[in-house]
Homo-oligomer: A and B are copies of this chain.
């Protein structure tokens, strides 16, 4: 059997589905950052040549998917399943990308944890033979996300230090059956639960997501009977400085020490330490572009061997928030392994 259950929330693959090709696109700021070398394509204009930000976001997603397919050497007709998601209402950029690519489509959404859900479902479909090849795809755009969840950037609304900058980036991975040694693949999955410690402030997403990250990581290590040291790197998606501090504190309380030594955040890697971005980078594009770009490259080059990518999502609903509801968090973890 290809799939071995590790516990309630986790499974591993005996033959990890392999990443045949990946594609990462970003905006101008992301393309000027510390990980600029890892981007396949950078849009210097926030409109990406379109007349709305929403269309720009869709264009960026589609480009990432097309690059992944080109690198994998797979025509889009060869792909049996597209799992894609984004932050916009009705997963609009993903649906329109699915329309453009013509690939059978599952829309996935768990906020900024979406890329790991897409990789989980895609790898499952490939591992059990439901799909010969699958494409996982996700992204975010600062102008569409800020407008939808908080205020349009153009308003210039004042932000508190705990607020984050939604990145402009998209990442895609074309998955297929394992072909041999030395390739980077998805070795296992831990599906997250929704955790809510009653954070209601949409300018403090780090605090809303940190408990979910701590929960998923604690469960993952227990179900896999592993220590943090078993990973070269443990990556949260987009906790920001505020969320990272809370997460490490919660893990300490959960009896999971030594995480800090191996831990970093995709948003921090992507944008560096820059006060301009307040608490740090966030958005689906963080885990998608860093995990499938920079981290994938380090794994491929043998500089890393096993990484736990924990994409963190704040399930913020502006409507529920206005109805005095809090912001639940979720975090899905994916083992990326060269083996």
Contacts and interface: CB of A to CB of B under 8 A. Distances in A.
Given A90-B111, A104-B193, A124-B128, A320 B54 contact: yes
Contacts of A3: 128-130
Contacts of A316: 90
A80 B9 contact: yes
A82 to B, nearest CB: 9
Interface in A59-97: 80-81, 85, 88-92, 95-96
B319 A193 contact: no
A54 B124 contact: no
A2 B88 CA distance: 36
A1 B268 CA distance: 43
Given A54-B323, A130-B11, A323-B52, A107 B110 contact: yes
The 9 closest A-B pairs by CB, nearest first: A128-B128, A104-B191, A92-B317, A99-B194, A89-B89, A107-B109, A95-B315, A98-B194, A11-B130
A117 interface: yes
A315 to B, nearest CB: 4
A295 interface: no
Contact of A194 (B90, B95, B130): B95
Contacts of A102: 193-194
Interface string A108-134: 111100000100110011011110100
A144 B123 CA distance: 34
Contacts of A111: 90
A106 interface: yes
A109 B108 contact: yes
Nearest to A81: B191
